[in-house]
Amino acid sequence: MNKKINIALIFIIIILSFSMSSFASIELGDTSTQVKEVQQMLNNLGYEVSIDGIYGYRTKEIIKDFQRSNGLTADGIVGEKTLNFLIERTKDITYVVKKGDSLSELAIKFNSTAAIIREKNQLSSNKIVAGRTILIPKSGMGGGRIENVYKKIDHQIQAGDALSILAKKYGSSVQAIKRANNLSDNQIRVGQTLTVPHLSKESDRVFALNNSSLIWPVKGRMSSPYGNRIHPITGKRQFHGGIDIAVPTGTQIRVAADGKVIQSGWIKGFGYTIVIDHGKRVRTLYGHNSQLLVKSGSAVKKGDKIALSGSTGESTGPHLDFRIYVNGETVSPLNYLP
């Protein structure tokens, strides 16, 4: 009996050893089926890569960028460590909806967006039902769970109140207040009680966003303002969540405030992009760069050089797309820049 058990154990060990050694590193020129799988994962993260099964120079450069962004050796070779990081970064989060959850809050909690979650679960609206299991994809903005310090308070509208005033007062955003109260426009009336998404005191101590907190990331002509506009590529009217500052390619981009780099790499649409976390649910984004000068995880000080301007991603010319996010929602940078 013991002999049979020993033979079985040896057989299992041989199988495990074979499976662990079956993965061969992917290098330039490879055309295995694993190349397509790697390209698909990169595509899911927002990198612009053709899923053609050919590990060419373009795919290699994107892998090197991914490796740099995740603190790995940037050799352009997909070994087991790089592959494991890719799998972890693209693995969907399974979440059971709890009573009181909203799609916008889940997007903040899991560092995603409501649109991405809707698309993944084929939802026709932002309405979610308690008890339902949904998948939350990890996006090009970084992915992963961030602990929620987000709560709501009730505010009775007084004379002189406006949504923009309430957003500044409570560290929220106009969009978040409108969603929380199902408002179709910015009209409010005296005596009306609104639910206002608000940051807890724990995060209030970290970073105070006001018009002396930030500096301009670059000096140049503002070629596109914050708000609704005709998209220069699609020709359709849509919301622009930042300001575009036209500058020549290679112009130095500086960080607007102290913080930590949470994304340094390619983000679909934005091209080569830097995202900085400043605490208190405040983040800044610097898009369409030609070169990135800081790595993910780096601490930066206000005024540090973080990138060189360019026209990567969906862009019609060299410029910086600068965005400020509060509670996961964009706010007008002009309200906070000196």
Distance in Å from the first CA to the final CA of the chain: 81
- Sign of the CA dihedral with 285 first, then 291, 297, and 299 last: negative
- pTM more than 0.85: no
pLDDT average, residue stretch 3-25 = 53
- Kindly indicate the confidence band of residue 207, based on its pLDDT and cuts at 50, 70 and 90: low
- Measured between alpha carbons, how far is 36 from 22 in angstroms, rounded to an integer? 17
- Kindly indicate the confidence band of residue 151, based on its pLDDT and cuts at 50, 70 and 90: low
Q: Domain 93-136: state its class.
A: alpha beta
Q: What percent of the chain has pLDDT over 90?
A: 19
pLDDT average, residue stretch 10-16 = 49
What does the buried/exposed string (b/e) look like for 171-203 if buried means 16 or more CB atoms within 10 Å of the residue's CB? Answer: bbbbbbbbbbeeeeeeebeeeeebebbbbeeeb
At a CB cut-off of 8 Å and minimum separation 6, what does 300 contact? Answer: 255, 258, 259, 260, 261, 276, 294, 306
- pLDDT computed for residue 201 by the predictor: 40
Q: Which CATH number fits domain 150-204: 3.90.1300.10, 3.10.350.10, 3.20.190.10, 3.30.200.20?
A: 3.10.350.10
Residues of the chain within CATH 3.10.350.10 domain(s) are: 93-136, 150-204
- pLDDT computed for residue 178 by the predictor: 77
- Measured between alpha carbons, how far is 35 from 93 in angstroms, rounded to an integer? 24
Token pair for residue 6?
Answer: 């020993």
Please state which CATH number belongs to domain 221-335: 2.70.70.10
Mean residue pLDDT of the chain comes to 78
pLDDT average, residue stretch 316-331 = 86
Q: Strands (DSSP E) along the chain, which ranges?
A: 93-96, 133-136, 150-156, 193-199, 221-224, 227-230, 237-240, 243-246, 252-254, 259-267, 271-277, 282-292, 299-300, 305-309, 319-326, 329-331
Helix crossing, 57-69 with 33-44: angle to 10°? 50
Kindly report, residue by residue over 196-206, the tens digit of the pLDDT: 776 444 333 33
- pLDDT computed for residue 23 by the predictor: 62
- Kindly indicate the confidence band of residue 111, based on its pLDDT and cuts at 50, 70 and 90: low
Overall fold of domain 24-90: Muramoyl-pentapeptide Carboxypeptidase; domain 1 (1.10.101)
Q: Is the pLDDT of residue 4 over 60?
A: no
Per DSSP, what are the bridge partners of residue 322?
243, 286
Q: Is the pLDDT of residue 16 over 50?
A: no
- pLDDT computed for residue 20 by the predictor: 42
- Measured between alpha carbons, how far is 175 from 197 in angstroms, rounded to an integer? 10
Decide which of 8 and 203 is more confident.
Answer: 8
Q: What percent of the chain has pLDDT over 70?
A: 77
From the list 256, 224, 264, the residue with the least C-alpha distance to 242 is 224
- Kindly indicate the confidence band of residue 78, based on its pLDDT and cuts at 50, 70 and 90: very high
- Kindly indicate the confidence band of residue 224, based on its pLDDT and cuts at 50, 70 and 90: confident
Q: Is the pLDDT of residue 147 over 90?
A: no
- The amino acid that residue 290 corresponds to is S
Kindly report, residue by residue over 249-305, the tens digit of the pLDDT: 999 999 999 999 988 888 878 889 999 988 877 899 999 999 999 988 889 999 999
Residues of the chain within CATH 2.70.70.10 domain(s) are: 221-335
DSSP string computed for 230-260: E-TTT--EEEE-SEEEE--TT-EEE-SSSEE
Kindly report, residue by residue over 167-178, the tens digit of the pLDDT: 777 767 776 787
Decide which of 105 and 4 is more confident.
Answer: 105
